[in-house]
């Protein structure tokens, strides 16, 4: 455990005082992973809206057990403790909401060519700039919790990534030729997310699903998705009333999925 891990600095979030995000960020100089830190400190999961921020990350985790590359200072690594106050079927769609909040913050930087890929990648002209890892705790007699981890590539060029992914990713600096500080970006995302979650928990859901559909690169695309070890091909139709993905399979069967991975064909 480093000194910074023992003594994180609490910061207040400008503009976020009331709402589902609690207004406090625990700031670390260095962590293995902001999501893992919260998993190893379950008491903090009781603090609705708590935000963990690390200036760099040494063992960032991605979806499906992948590694999240680009742990250097200057990029954004954060995890937010969300207590979803909606019916259970709507809970997976929190990851869509986080993608929308990141998109709003990036639009404010003047970034063009943004799109969302189901469930929660943020792309710039089909290259990934942001990944979101939502991990949930659902236990009897405990408040349901989502640990929403956001990794956003802010600085450097794609050459700093391994050759396997360097053609598939991008950074904000590479796109707009400007450096935006991680804390500034964090505060902007949190401001948007606070408002969106507040609305969503008060029953405004279709508006956000429509916005997601409108800004998604996924609608109408042919995909392969992984279903219990099987790969099924289909075409994305849109989101249903719970934010689950509606897919028409090659055999003409309508499926509604809320997890897993899709691959564009």
Among 77, 161, 208, 212, binds ligand BTN (CB under 6 A): 77
**Does 95 sit near ligand BTN (CB under 6 A)?**
no
Q: Which token pair is 44?
A: 């903090």
Among 19, 49, 151, 234, binds ligand BTN (CB under 6 A): 151
- Greatest Cα-to-Cα distance within the chain, rounded to the nearest angstrom: 57
Q: Which token pair is 116?
A: 């969302």
Nearer to ligand BTN, 58 or 202 (CB): 58
* CA–CA separation, 104 and 102 (whole Å): 5
Give the range of 22-30, 42-50, 59-67, 137-145 binding ligand BTN by CB under 6 A. Answer: 59-67
Give the range of 22-30, 62-70, 198-206, 244-252 binding ligand BTN by CB under 6 A. Answer: 62-70
Q: Which token pair is 199?
A: 């609305």
Among 66, 89, 207, 253, binds ligand BTN (CB under 6 A): 66
Q: Which token pair is 11?
A: 């910061």
Give the range of 147-155, 166-174, 183-191, 226-234 binding ligand BTN by CB under 6 A. Answer: 147-155
* CA–CA separation, 95 and 261 (whole Å): 13
* CA–CA separation, 51 and 147 (whole Å): 10
Nearer to ligand BTN, 44 or 237 (CB): 44
- Least distance CB 77 / ligand BTN (angstroms): 4
**Does 69 sit near ligand BTN (CB under 6 A)?**
no
Cis peptide leading into 161, omega within 30 of 0? no
* ∠ Cα 38 69 187 (to 5°): 55
- Least distance CB 63 / ligand BTN (angstroms): 4
């Amino acid at each position: 455990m480093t000194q910074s891990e023992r003594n994180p600095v609490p910061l207040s979030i400008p503009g976020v005082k009331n709402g589902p995000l609690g207004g406090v960020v625990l700031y670390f100089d260095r962590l293995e992973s902001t999501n893992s830190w919260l998993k190893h400190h379950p008491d903090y999961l009781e603090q609705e809206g708590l935000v963990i921020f690390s200036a760099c990350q040494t063992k960032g985790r991605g979806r499906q057990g992948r590694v999240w590359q680009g742990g250097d200072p200057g990029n954004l690594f954060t995890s937010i403790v969300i207590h979803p106050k909606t019916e259970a079927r709507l809970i997976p769609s929190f990851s869509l909401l986080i993608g929308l909040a990141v998109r709003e913050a990036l639009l404010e930087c003047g970034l063009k060519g943004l799109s969302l890929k189901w469930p929660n990648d943020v792309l710039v002209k089909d290259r990934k700039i942001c990944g979101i890892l939502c991990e949930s705790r659902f236990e009897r007699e405990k408040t349901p919790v989502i640990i929403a981890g956001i990794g956003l590539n802010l600085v450097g060029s794609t050459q700093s990534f391994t050759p396997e992914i360097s053609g598939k990713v991008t950074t904000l600096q590479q796109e707009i030729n400007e450096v935006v500080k991680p804390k500034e970006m964090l505060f902007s995302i949190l401001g948007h997310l606070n408002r969106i979650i507040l609305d969503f928990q008060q029953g405004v859901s279709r508006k956000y699903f429509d916005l997601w559909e409108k800004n998604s690169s996924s609608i109408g695309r042919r995909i392969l998705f992984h279903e219990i070890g099987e790969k099924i091909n289909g075409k994305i139709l849109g989101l249903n009333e719970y934010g689950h993905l509606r897919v028409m399979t090659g055999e003409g069967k309508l499926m509604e999925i809320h997890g897993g991975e899709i691959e564009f064909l």
